[in-house]
Chain A
Amino acid sequence: MTRKPTLDRERGETLRPADFDARLPAAAPPAAFPIETLVPQVREQVPAVGQRATRPDGRMHGLGQTRFIDDLAFPGMLHAKIKRAGIAAARIRAIDTRAAEAMPGVMAVLTGREIPVNSFGPSLKDQPVLADARVFHAGDGVAAVAALTEQIALEALERIKVDYEPLPAVFDPFEALREDAPRVHAPESNVYASKVIRKGDIEQGFAASDHVFEGRFRTQMVEHAPLEPHASIALWDANGRLTVHSTLGRITLGRADIARVLALPVNRVRVVATIVGGNFGGKNEITQEPVLALLSKKTGRPVKGVYTRTEEFIATTTRHPIVMDYRTGVTRDGRIIARKVRLLLDGGAYCSWSETTLGKACILSAGPYRIDHLHAEAIAVYTNKTMTGAMRGFGAPQVCFAYESHMDDIAAALAIDPLEIRLRNAFDEGSASPTGQVLHSVVVKESLALAAERFGWKEPRS
């Protein structure tokens, strides 16, 4: 007498007992929730522009029905973890993965040498997916493991032995500029990007000024810290076509980069983003996606990778620390005539979005002010620290801290009200920007007036 095979038993025959773990964590069981097809009432939202329209994803979030990457699971899915270098600059002599590979539950191990084109980056392709020959900062990945559970993968990372030859490292951007500084990448220089903006005649401008003020301002390295960490799942179909579910905020660039790194035609790669749980610029380029894809190819199984909070800090981009030198010439009544700005951006180990950050910081560094004589220059240098990249504002919060602190110092020295000195210098409709662009839809004075009025700036202070 044969027992009728159940679906579970059929699965049990093809999977080893330990593999049952691979089906965990399963997608959350469907919760009971009211299903309503919301239909708008006639004229309720016409015209549409200007309405405080409810977000269609709001109901999903509220009911806990939004599927973030970590809520997705595929049959047989494995979990990947990446080993971080923990040393800021080194040559990799050898990587021994045998002990990790021998562990029960470990399905595959990957090193940088197995990546077809092991470099990427939005402008300079200076970043390895996994470090192969050299380590450039302590958060570099050096090997990856796919295992039945995250715990097994983490234990396997401990058993991977990397033989490093430590190299001299540089951590300070000023030291990185020195002739004798260790070179992070190119042998010629650690400077990898620069920008200059010149308008008018800076020396003439200072000569015509009644007063000249100077200031140096610095900002720190910060992290985007989105609620949802970087997370992706890679899986292949039998035709060798790759699908990546990812938290990428830029799927077009992401697909091109993944295809390039894996040496695949672009149309053999599909990138699907879900609702992303916060980006702020930190999810603008690929991170672990090619690693997951190659682990998935090795094992024939879907592979998921979710960064830990620590990895969010040490292995993803951060905001550029900038040292900002300002020199400003003004008239007696607080009109800015000349401004010289010098910005030194600490780029960390890779270029990433530094060129954009440097350019925007340089253009915006004069502030929203009419200045006839301007000289702004910015350079970015490599250091053996966490890479800096795109982050909400691309250098603008840094330079705004500098030009607005500097502005208040000038106002105080000249005994002019901070609001008043800004109104005297702010752009008007049709003003020329530092790059000579004629500006339109300019409302900086309106924003100053509105904020001051609502704050009660001119009311007597207690």
Chain B
Amino acid sequence: MKRRGRGIACMWYPIGFTVSANPSAALVKVNEDGTATVLTGTVETGQGSLTVLAQIAAEELGIATEDVHVVSADTDITPMDTGAIASRTTYVTGNAIRLAAERAKAVLFEVAAPMLGVKPEQLEARDRKIQVRNFPQRCLRIGEVANQAQTVMGQPPIGSASWNPPTVALDPETGQGKPFSTYVYATQIAEVDVDDETGEVDVIRIVAAHDCGTPINPMLVEGQVEGGISMGIGFALQEEILFDGAGRQVNPSLANYIMPTSLDMPEIEVHIVASHDPTGPFGAKGVGEPTSVPTAAAIANAIHDAVGVRITSLPATAEKVLAAIKEKRAREALPGGGTRPAALA
């Protein structure tokens, strides 16, 4: 019969490389009409990073996301970037782009200040305008200022910057140090049905609560979490590269290396934990990798809750779960069997 269980798992995960430098450089150009072009060497690998980076540039320049065009991933054109790895794009590349946008904005403020009869420090960029702080009616369209800067003052509003997360090397003996600039945290809770006659595990529901600092784009955070959970389910229950005795893979194809499909996906609830990291762009950290970290642990704990067996090696295939259930029944049939896990000392 099917037995329902629930399991919880939490995790922590760092953003960026372990100690090693992993800088990003960026260039932001404000065009004559107030739209902007961002140059970044990172690569869009499907996660939506270019959208997030456009939002960061737009926020800093006080323009709309769609006013920003991002040019990426061409070593002849775009500045150095460590790339789409280590959940670092929003945090590291995002910081570089925010700084570059700030520098382009400084040129606009310098040009706008005499036009508005104030000092550059009194200005802010909002709603596609350069305006006097606390006096938003005293303003100029950002395009007007950008055009003035470029075609009259001869100061094209271009900013470039780079950013590298601050770290401290680890002591080789003790491992003490500051390997990462920041970390994210998350919890996932899985609800499963385990068939105690076949060992088959069906994941019914996963509730995920992830920290990513400020969510620059909540929709893309949700997408990452859902995708990460699908990878986590494959890792927990199905996927395994198998070798023959001569070291050759025996299942190198999607016909017999079984991955979860949309039909295997449970109901997923994604919640974003309120959080703000002052070292990230507008408080953002990252979310890419952590989304698939706690899933397998939560499912393994749910299996234990459902049928009382501890799966100690992944994947928890039906065969493995059934063998564990049979072993438990055999143990319980012995006198004195069936106690809960005993402390060793």
Cross-chain contact A418 with B301 (CB below 8 angstroms):
yes
A215 contacts across to B, CB distance below 8 A: 312
A138 touching B85, Cβ below 8 Å: no
- B245-288 interface code vs A (CB 8 A; 1 in, 0 out): 01111011110010100000000010101111111001011001
Binds A, one of B3-11, B114-122, B145-153, B194-202: B3-11
* Binary CB contact string for chain A from 361 to 402 against chain B (1 if under 8 A, 0 otherwise): 011100110000000100000001110001011101100110
Q: Count how many chain B residues have C-beta atoms less than 8 Å from C-beta atoms of the other chain.
A: 134
- Interface membership of A103, Cβ < 8 A: no
- Chain A nearest CB from B86 CB (Å) reads 7
Residue pair A443, B275 in contact (C-beta under 8 Å):
yes
Render B314-333 as a binary contact track against A, CB cut-off 8 A, 1 for contact. 11000000000000000000
Q: Tell me which of B182, B191, B208, B235 contacts A441 (CB under 8 A).
A: B182
A435 at interface, CB cutoff 8 A: yes
The contact of A52 among B81, B218, B294, by CB within 8 Å, is B218
Q: A405-B301, A450-B187 are in contact. Are A40 and B247 (CB under 8 A)?
A: no
A211 to chain B, nearest CB (A): 4
Whether B301 lies near A457 (C-beta < 8 A) is: no
Contact (Cβ within 8 A) B218 A50: yes
Asked whether A368 lies within 8 Å of B66 as measured between CB atoms, the reply is no
In the complex, per-residue mask of B69-100: 1 if CB is within 8 Å of any chain A CB, else 0: 11011111000111111100000000000000
Within 8 A of A (CB), among B183-210: 183, 185-189, 191, 205, 207-210
Q: Which residues of A contact B50 (CB under 8 A)?
A: 55-57
Per-position 1/0 for B103-129, Cβ under 8 A of A: 000000000000000000000001110
Please give the distance in Å from B170's CB to the nearest CB on chain A. 6
| Number of residues of chain A lying within 8 A (CB) of chain B | 129
Q: A39-B66, A138-B249, A252-B83 are in contact. Are A56 and B54 (CB under 8 A)?
A: yes
Query: Does A178 sit within 8 A of B, measured CB to CB?
Result: no
Q: Which of B246, B259, B282, B345 contacts A211 (CB 8 A)?
A: B345
Contacts from A to B (Cβ < 8 Å): 38-40, 42-57, 86-89, 137-139, 169, 171, 195-199, 209, 211-223, 225, 248-253, 255, 269-281, 283-284, 309-310, 312-314, 318-319, 356, 359-360, 362-364, 367-368, 376, 384-386, 390, 392-394, 396-397, 400-401, 403-405, 408-409, 412-413, 418-419, 422, 426-427, 433-437, 439-444, 446-448, 450-452, 454-455, 457
Is B297 positioned at the interface, with any CB of A under 8 Å from its CB?
yes
B217 partner, pick from A52, A368, A403, beta carbons under 8 A:
A52
Which residue of chain A has the shortest Cβ distance to B172 in the bound complex? A196
In the assembled complex, the CB of B331 is this many whole angstroms from the nearest CB of chain A, namely: 16
Query: Smallest distance from the beta carbon of B276 to chain A beta carbons, Å?
Result: 7
User: How far in angstroms is the closest Cβ of chain A from B275?
Assistant: 5
What's the least CB distance linking A72 to chain B, in Å?
Answer: 14
Question: Which chain B residue shows the least CB distance to A405?
Answer: B300
Answer whether residue B293 sits at the interface, using C-beta atoms and an 8 A cutoff: yes
Residue of B nearest to A310 (CB): B252
A396 lies within 8 A of B290 (CB): yes
Shortest C-beta distance, A41 to chain B (Å), equals 8
Minimum C-beta distance from A257 to chain B (A): 12
Residue of A nearest to B291 (CB): A392
Q: Which of B247, B254, B278, B288 contacts A225 (CB 8 A)?
A: B254
> Given the complex of chains A and B, what is the CA–CA distance between A294 and B119 in angstroms?
59
User: Are B12 and A313 touching (Cβ within 8 A)?
Assistant: no
Q: Which residues of B contact A271 (CB under 8 A)?
A: 74-75
Instruction: Kindly state the separation between the CA atoms of A319 and B292 in the bound complex, as whole angstroms.
Output: 13
Could you tell me the distance between the alpha carbons of A265 and B127 in the complex, rounded to whole angstroms? 46
Q: Is B336 an interface residue (CB 8 A)?
A: no
With a CB–CB cut-off of 8 A, which chain A residues contact B154? Answer: none
Question: Measured between alpha carbons, how far is A274 from B74 in the docked complex, in Å?
Answer: 9
CB distance from B255 to the nearest CB of A (A): 9
Q: Is the CB of A270 within 8 A of B82?
A: no
Q: Which residues of B contact A49 (CB under 8 A)?
A: 55-56, 59, 214, 216, 282, 284
- Give every chain B residue within 8 A of A364 (Cβ-Cβ): 11-14
Most A CB within 10 A of own CB, among B210, B216, B234, B301: B301
- Tell me the bound Cα distance from A280 to B273 in angstroms: 24
List A contacts of B17 (CB < 8 A): 356
B137 within 8 A of A: no
Is B177 interfacial (CB 8 A cutoff)? yes
**Which residue among A47, A216, A408 has the maximum number of chain B CB atoms within 10 Å of its CB?**
A408
Residues of B within 8 A of A280 (CB): 231
Q: How far is the CA of A279 from the CA of B239 in the complex (A)?
A: 17
Point out the residue from A220, A221, A448, A452 that lies within 8 Å of B313, measured CB to CB. Answer: A220
Compute how far the CA of A47 lies from the CA of B70 in the bound complex, rounded to whole angstroms.
18
Q: List 21 A-B contacts (CB under 8 A).
A: A45-B58, A46-B64, A53-B217, A55-B220, A215-B312, A249-B83, A249-B84, A250-B84, A251-B73, A251-B83, A270-B74, A272-B73, A356-B18, A393-B13, A405-B297, A413-B341, A443-B185, A446-B211, A447-B210, A447-B211, A454-B207
Docked CA distance A55–B44 (Å): 11
Interface residues of B (CB under 8 A from A): 6-14, 17-18, 41, 43-46, 48, 50-51, 54-56, 58-59, 62-67, 69-70, 72-76, 80-86, 126-128, 170, 173-180, 182-183, 185-189, 191, 205, 207-211, 213-220, 228, 231-232, 234-235, 239-241, 243, 246-249, 251-254, 257, 259, 269, 271, 273-279, 282, 284-285, 288-290, 292-298, 300-301, 304, 310-315, 340-345
Contact (A401, B297) CB under 8 Å given A270-B76, A441-B275 = yes
Given contacts A284-B85, A400-B296, is CB(A223)–CB(B257) below 8 Å? yes
Asked whether A412 and B341 contact (CB < 8 A) given A43-B127, A223-B241, A435-B175, the answer is yes
Q: Do the beta carbons of A446 and B189 come within 8 Å of each other? A: no
Given A38-B66, A56-B50, A450-B273, answer yes or no on A138-B73 (Cβ-Cβ < 8 Å). Answer: no
Task: Evaluate contact between B252 and A314: CB separation under 8 angstroms.
Answer: yes
Contact A396 B11 (CB under 8 A): yes
CB–CB A401/B314 < 8 A: yes
The residue in chain A whose Cβ has the minimal distance to the Cβ of B83 is A250
Question: In angstroms, how far is the closest chain B Cβ from the Cβ of A371?
Answer: 13
**Closest residue of chain B to A349, judged by CB?**
B247
Q: Which residues of A contact B343 (CB under 8 A)?
A: 211-213, 413
> Chain A residues near B44 (CB, 8 Å)?
57, 275-276
Determine the chain A residues whose CB is within 8 A of the CB of B310 once the complex forms.
Answer: 405, 409
Select which of B58, B257, B279 is within 8 A of A313 by beta carbon: B257
Which chain A residues lie closer than 8 Å to B214 at the CB level? 49-50
List the A residue with the shortest CB-CB distance to B191: A455
List B contacts of A46 (CB < 8 A).
58, 62-64, 126-128
Can you add 9 more A-B contacts, CB < 8 Å, to A46-B128, A250-B82, A271-B74?
A198-B174, A249-B43, A273-B43, A277-B46, A314-B248, A363-B18, A400-B294, A443-B275, A457-B189
Cβ-defined contact, A436 with B247, below 8 A: no
Bound-state Cα–Cα, A271 to B77, Å: 10
Determine if A86 and B248 form an interchain contact, defined as CB atoms under 8 angstroms apart. Answer: yes
**Cβ-defined contact, A444 with B12, below 8 A:** yes
Tell me if A439 and B183 are in contact (CB < 8 A): yes
Q: Is the CB of B182 within 8 A of A47?
A: no
> Of A44, A218, A223, A437, which one neighbours B178 at CB under 8 angstroms?
A437
* C-alpha gap A248/B46 in the complex (Å): 13
Complex alpha-carbon distance, A57 and B50, angstroms? 9
